[in-house]
């Protein structure tokens, strides 16, 4: 608060002066009247008080009137501040305590005005960002009515028209059926949609979040277009697959071409002793290529999982009859829900990879743990591990560092897990080896 300069005459000093003048005037006047009425001093004092007190009351009212007016003005500005209006200011010319209060009040108003202006600017910036973002946003209240929709949402779902006040059920009845299906499934997910007449629908990601606003439950829907990003990722994936297929075909066809050329030259010379060896090598490479193509066909035709409730102990006991491993830790008592055949195939692939990594058989472990809403299956070994390059390509179909490998083991496991709405992750273990974690939702 800025210091007030000049002579300071406080409220207490003014009130004391009025009282002092009243007492002195009354005493002097009473003394004069007493001299006139020497035999009646009490009557003289009463007469003096009757003369002086009206003037004292008038002086007190004149002193208190601006104070009362200013206090009323302060009360009015406080009410204005409560209502969000900070445009009022007060003026008090006297250098006293009330002047200090008025100065502090005015400074508070300036601070509140600055804060309000900054808040308005931030709200304007936020509203501009929300309205201009390509992500469609819908905010629903507890009754399911839309209380906010940005420009993208209006254009995507209602031909640019206003959505506020519309029931979500009514909107879903007139918009894309795929959006209704995605919302009915619950949680986040993908759906396809597009304007009528388009040759190809756009792909959107739906995310939904619950939160409390002003003490009331609301739900936020975000619809983000993913077509361009998915197409870019699709192109990158196909490039990787083409590189792997080209490498595999070249590894088989180049030796076959060289060997058939050598066989033709040997026949021309009449030297047939090496022909059986050459033909055996050609047959081996041809069968390898046939196996590679057959694996491609099986990978492309993976059926939809037929899920059932499966107890972990008998399931893993059956798996141990096909490939060796040790069970680490206690198994969950709650059963899992998955396609038994597909899950066996995925885990057999992972366990065979673990044995082929150079890990001792006793160090190939499998564990099952239960989380908040999921199961985690981990296959771990103590093999050579993976380099960063191999790790980044390990889940790509047909990518393999083994001479006779098909590159389908991890890719098929990933396809199976993702078909179960789960996910797969690989990591090098401290001390050597790989840990492959499969996360399955608890259903």
CATH of the domain at 216: 3.30.450.20
Q: What is the pLDDT of residues 16-30, one digit of tens each?
A: 666 666 666 666 555
Question: 257 with 162, same domain?
Answer: no
Whether residue 1 is predicted with pLDDT greater than 50 in this model: the reply is no
pLDDT given for residue 378 in this prediction: 92
Do residue 116 and residue 162 come from a single domain? Answer: no
Model confidence at 377, pLDDT cuts 50, 70, 90, reads very high
CA end-to-end distance (rounded Å), the chain: 65
Q: What is the mean pLDDT of residues 70-74?
A: 77
Residue 167 inside a domain? The answer is yes
Domain-ending residue, one of 203, 225, 247 = 225
Residues 76 and 189 in one domain: no
Q: What is the pLDDT of residue 198?
A: 47
Which stretch of 31-45, 143-157, 235-249, 404-418 has the lowest confidence by average pLDDT? 31-45
Contacts of 411 (CB under 8 A, 6+ apart): 299, 395, 396, 397, 398, 399
- 328 & 372 share domain: yes
- What's the per-residue H, E or C state across the chain? CCCCCCCCCCHHHHHHHHHHHHHHHHHHHHHHHHHHCCCCHHHHHHHHHHHHHHHHHHHHHHHHHHHHHHHHHHHHHHHHHHCCCCCCCCCCCCCCHHHHHHHHHHHHHHHHHHHHHHHHHHHHHHHHHHHHCCCEEEEECCCCEEEEECHHHHHHHHCCCCCCCCEHHHHHHHCCHHHHHHHHHCCCEEEEECCCCCCCCEEEEEEEEEEEECCEEEEEEEEEECHHHHHHHHHHHHHHHHHHHHHHHHHHHHHHHHHHHHHHHHHHHCCCCCHHHHHHHHHHHHHHHHHHHHHHHHHHCCCCCCCEEECHHHHHHHHHCCCCCEECCCCCCCCEEECHHHHHHHHHHHHHHHHHCCCCHHHCEEEEEECCCEEEEEEECCCCCCCHHHHHHCCCCCCCCCCCCCCCHHHHHHHHHHHCCCEEEEEECCCCCEEEEEEEECC
pLDDT of residue 26: 61
**Same structural domain, 21 and 111:** yes
Alpha carbons 419 and 429: distance in angstroms, whole number? 27
Task: Assign residue 389 the CATH number of its domain.
Answer: 3.30.565.10
Domain boundary among 265, 284, 300: 300
| Mean pLDDT, range 386-396, rounded to an integer | 69
Same-domain pairing of 283 and 342: no
Domain extent for 34: 11-120
Domain limit, last residue, from 225, 250, 279: 225
Tell whether 316 is covered by a domain: yes
Do 353 and 417 belong to one domain?
yes
Cβ neighbours for 327, distance < 8 A, ≥ 6 positions apart: 316, 365, 366, 367
Instruction: Examine residue 3 and state whether it is found in any structural domain, yes or no.
Output: no
Please check whether residue 284 lies inside any domain of the structure: yes
**Angstrom distance (rounded) from CA 433 to CA 443:** 31
Domain match, 437 and 313 both: yes
**Residue 4 lies inside a defined structural domain of this protein:** no
* Structural domains in the chain (count): 4
pLDDT attached to residue 392: 65
| Mean pLDDT (whole number) for 120-142 | 85
pLDDT above 80 for 52: no
């Amino acid at each position: 608060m800025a210091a007030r300069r000049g002579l300071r005459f406080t409220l207490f000093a003014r009130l004391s002066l009025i009282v002092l003048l009243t007492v002195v005037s009354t005493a002097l006047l009473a003394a004069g009247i007493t001299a006139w009425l020497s035999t009646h001093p009490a009557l003289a004092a009463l007469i003096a008080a009757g003369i002086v007190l009206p003037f004292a009351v008038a002086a007190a009212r004149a002193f208190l009137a601006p104070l009362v007016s200013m206090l009323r003005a302060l009360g009015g500005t406080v009410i204005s501040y409560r209502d969000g209006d900070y445009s009022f200011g007060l003026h008090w010319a006297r250098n006293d305590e009330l002047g200090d209060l008025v100065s502090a009040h005015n400074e508070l108003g300036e601070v509140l005005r600055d804060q309000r202006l900054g808040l308005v600017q931030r709200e304007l910036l936020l509203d501009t960002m929300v309205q201009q973002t390509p992500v469609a946003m819908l905010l629903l209240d507890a009754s399911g009515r839309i209380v906010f929709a940005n420009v993208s949402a209006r254009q995507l779902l209602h031909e640019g028209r206003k959505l506020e006040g519309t029931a979500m059920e009514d909107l879903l009845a007139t918009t894309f059926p795929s959006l209704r299906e995605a919302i009915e499934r619950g949680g986040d997910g993908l759906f396809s949609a597009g304007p009528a007449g388009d040759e190809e629908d756009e792909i959107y990601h739906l995310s939904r979040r619950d939160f409390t606003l002003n003490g009331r439950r609301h739900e936020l829907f975000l619809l983000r277009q993913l077509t361009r990003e998915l197409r870019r990722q699709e192109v990158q994936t196909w490039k990787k697959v083409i590189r792997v297929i080209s490498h595999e075909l070249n590894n088989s066809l180049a030796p076959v071409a060289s060997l058939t050329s050598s066989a033709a030259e040997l026949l021309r010379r009449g030297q047939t002793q090496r022909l059986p060896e050459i033909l055996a090598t050609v047959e081996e490479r041809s069968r390898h290529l046939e196996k590679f193509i057959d694996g491609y066909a099986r990978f492309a035709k993976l059926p939809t999982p037929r899920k059932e409730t499966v107890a972990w102990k008998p399931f893993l006991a059956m798996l141990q009859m096909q490939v060796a491993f040790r069970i680490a830790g206690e198994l969950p008592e709650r059963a899992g829900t998955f396609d038994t055949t597909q899950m066996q195939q995925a885990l057999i692939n992972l366990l065979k990879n673990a044995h082929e990594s150079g890990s001792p058989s006793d160090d190939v472990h499998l564990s099952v743990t239960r989380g908040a809403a999921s199961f985690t299956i981990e296959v771990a070994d103590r093999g050579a591990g993976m380099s960063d390059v191999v790790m980044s390509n390990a889940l790509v179909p047909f990518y393999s560092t083994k001479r006779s490998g098909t590159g389908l083991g991890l890719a098929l496991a990933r396809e199976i897990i993702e078909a179960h709405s789960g996910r797969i992750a690989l990591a090098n273990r401290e001390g050597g080896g790989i840990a492959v974690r499969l996360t399955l939702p608890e259903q």
